[in-house]
Amino acid sequence: MLRAIRYSMTERICTIRRSSVALRLLIVLLACIFFAGNLPAVWLPPAIAAERPLDSQLKRRKMVASQLKSRGISNPLVLRAMATVPRHLFVSSHLRQLAYIDGPLPIGHGQTISQPYIVAYMTEILHIKQQDKVLEIGTGSGYQAAVLAELTERVYTMEIVPELADTAAERLKEMGCGSVNVRQGDGYHGWPKAAPFDAIMVTAAAEFIPPPLLKQLKEGGRMIIPVGSPFNVQHLMMVEKKEGKITTRSLMLVRFVPFRRSQ
Ligand code: SAH
């Protein structure tokens, strides 16, 4: 019973925010969990005790204060998204205790889930509005897509590694983020059928900005993409399309996993 309550509370992030019925249910569940959480530790098997949602909620709050607000992330919607999405459920179980550290973590297949600050920074700088259609290239674990889904229901995400795409799609669905569209494929070509996009976020470092992505960016749209050599530091670039013209500027130096191409 306890496990069931905790499971539903931590997993179904994207629906909780949108349904008032779910909100009422959540209050009841919170009360149950609050009292359960205050039972003596001997009541809980260690495996369950180690993953208490209130523990992870606390870790997220600390992460928001010490890693994000302190470095200038200030958009309340972004801060709320970062405080809501259970990052520990996007990494494998042996790394869960490290999920809220100030750095990236491996997610298998030589890929990583980005540092929380980078996720928040890239999300904030796109100025996403509720009706915006957003494309992410590099789904990875699905964490960034879940953060974006807290801001808009129109999220499209592409992943080149089939196993990562499948796992992320399943995970997002289980969490109630079924509105996120996940597709396996080479993001170089973008998602022409869903284009144009108000915002595009690329989470792997490309040697140059893929022209199809520029084409699929809406007039007035913004794209954020790390550009540079895969074995060196890269420039996190802000790309904007205004009156048909493209402008680019470097925001900071970063290090991302390489943007790959299908054969
Ligand atoms: N945003 C992810 C982490 C990104 S790691 C998260 O929140 O977990 C970068 C991801 O980009 C990797 O999973 C990698 O496989 C993927 N990738 C690299 N090149 C790609 C391409 N051409 N198209 C789609 N995905 C790509």
Residue 165 falls within a domain, yes or no? Answer: yes
Which residues is 136 bridged to in the sheet?
157, 201
**pTM, to two decimals:** 0.85
Query: How remote is the CA of residue 38 from the centroid of ligand 1, in Å?
Result: 40
Report yes or no on 212 lying in a domain.
Answer: yes
Best of 159, 163, 167, 189 for a ligand 1 pocket test (most atoms within 8 Å of beta carbon): 159
Which atom of ligand 1 has the smallest separation from the CA of 161? Answer: 15
H or E element that contains 58: helix 53-63
Contact partners, residue 174, CB within 8 Å, separation at least 6 = 11
Q: Is the CB of 141 under 6 A from ligand 1?
A: yes
Q: How far apart are CA 187 and CA 74, in angstroms?
A: 30
Residues 23-38: tens digit of each pLDDT: 666 665 655 444 443 3
| Residue 81 lies inside a defined structural domain of this protein | yes
Atom of ligand 1 nearest to the CA of 138: 11
Q: Six-digit token pair at 239?
A: 């790309």
Residue 32 forms part of a structural domain: no
What's the domain range around 123? 46-254
Question: Which CATH number does the domain housing residue 234 bear?
Answer: 3.40.50.150
Would you write out the chain's pLDDT as a tens digit for each of its 263 residues? 333 333 333 446 775 455 555 666 666 565 544 444 333 333 334 444 455 777 999 999 999 999 999 999 999 999 999 999 999 999 999 999 999 999 999 999 999 999 999 999 999 999 999 999 999 999 999 999 999 999 999 999 999 999 999 999 999 999 999 999 999 999 999 999 999 999 999 999 999 999 999 999 999 999 999 999 987 899 999 999 999 899 999 999 999 999 999 97
Told to judge if 74 belongs to the known catalytic residues of this protein, a careful annotator would answer no
For ligand 1, whether the C-beta of 148 sits within 6 Å is: no
| CB of 99 shorter than 6 A to ligand 1 | no
* pLDDT tens figures, 139-184: 999 999 999 999 999 999 999 999 999 999 999 999 999 999 999 9
Assigned domain for 37 exists: no
103 DSSP β-pair partners: none
Q: Is residue 162 part of a domain?
A: yes
64 by DSSP, 3-state: which?
A: helix
Going from the Cα of 234 to the center of ligand 1, the distance in angstroms, rounded, reads: 16
- Three-class DSSP category at 257: coil
CA of 40 to the centre of ligand 1 (A): 43
Whole-Å CA distances, 119 to 71, 75, 142, 145, 248: 13, 13, 12, 10, 20
* Full DSSP string of 239-251: EEEETTEEEEEEE
Q: Give the chain's domain count.
A: 1
Nearest-angstrom CA–CA distance, 143 and 220 = 26
Nearest-CA residue for ligand 1 atom 14 is 138
In a domain, 25, yes or no: no
The 8-class DSSP code of residue 214 comes to H
Please check whether residue 36 lies inside any domain of the structure: no
Q: Name the E strands within 23-144.
A: 105-108, 111-113, 133-137
